[in-house]
Structure 1
Amino acid sequence: MSHKISVVIIDDELPARNLIKAYLKKHNNIDVLGEASNGFEGIKVVQELKPDVIFLDIQMPKVTGLEMLEVIDNPPFVIFTTAYDEYALKAFELNAIDYLLKPFSEERFDAALQKAIDGKEKVNKKVISKTVEETHQLKNERLTRIVVKKGSELNVIPVNEVVYIEADDDYVFIHTADNKFIKSATMKHFQENLDKAQFVRIHRSYILNISKINKIEQYDKESYVAIVNENCKLKVSKSGYKLLKDVLSL
């Protein structure tokens, strides 16, 4: 990065954004293009302005920094600015240019900025997806929402609105009653992090929200079909049927 380096700051706390801007003012080769106070604004600013580097808070309301980053096409260099707990930080250490643990000194800030200027490591979407998965596992959280992008819009889908999830190579389709969204993620991630009392892997291709099932019909001798409605009938494998029986206490 020998040219003037463009930067966007995304943090829900104004004092944190102001501190970063104050530190950046001392660097003549930095051009602050804009800032955002949440993930929705953040994705719009990054996609419109295409900065070289983003300073990104992780814990933000509505959409986290990681969820935002996960749906950005061709993510820029990223420096996380976070008060996240030390266990989750272990998952981030190798997956971005750097992270700054709040409160951070100017010296520590300058060291992180220099890494971005040197441009030795660019964040990778698959790595970020993996980091999101690892974070849920480290914090032992159940997914309560899924963040996806459709066109230029960021969508936050509460999991109780998900009808089923369908495998498609390196992607999944998230089906709701009214829409279908594509996301770069694994079925394994959803199988491990969704509530197992609500979501069942009924087939290698499907994870189904059991509250959406209308009925289960036998298809042939050892196979079944889960019927959501007239237009949504999903194959149930032998192992999937056993899981359904256990969860539904049939």
Structure 2
Amino acid sequence: MKWQAVIVDDERLARMELRRLLQSHPNISVAGEASTIDGALERLRLTGANLVFLDIQLKGESGFDLLSHLAPEVAVVFVTAFDEYAVQAFEVHALDYLLKPVAPERLADAMDNLNRRGSVEVRAPGPPVEAAEDEDQRPERLSLAARLFLRIEERMGFLAVAQIRAVLADGDHAIIITLDGRRLKVRKPLREWILRLPEEHFLQIHRGALVNLDEVQRLDEWSHGSFHVHLRGEPTPLIMSRRFAARVRAQLG
């Protein structure tokens, strides 16, 4: 698929550098540039571009303001010098998140992802969701089909909710066990995952563990009303404490 791109950045040199890097990717054609939201919308209207390289901090504007105006088929790659916006963009359905200065290999990774999607329709991202300040302002739960965009180890990456087998507490971080057996350390504590993951699919079995119910193979009674929870692909069972076993019975009947 040939992609027509618009580069949105309020720094001319940054636009020039990204345009130069994109010359190594023949399936990407730069159809225009813009330094403002209005300018970006005009370029998109005139060119029919289906890809936007979007800076977040524009002069007096936020790149996020562009997202609600995009057609569903327009893919978005964020290009910014500020990695903290990735944390706010927990639910953003963007293709990738590149940090300035853009490394050629990271751009190549993003373009490989774009090529794999081919002509599949890309959902336009929505605005970032702020973290909840109290229980009355809890963010909406994610669906099983959602993809997360977060810091994994030392880089930003995407993770499908459906690919999570379990989430384990690790201080102010968490360890995500994926369906393919990887263990990913992420900068979000377990309490945030408990609030965000779909409760019809994920269940807290211990104050330090949250599991995907579809991945539970069996429960074995263990000691003093607690259970061993055996997950697919995991040689060592997790423990369901007696207190949480009582909650599970009340919740699931």
TM-score of the pair, normalised by structure 1: 0.50
Report which of the two has the higher share of helix: 1
TM-score of the pair, normalised by structure 2: 0.49
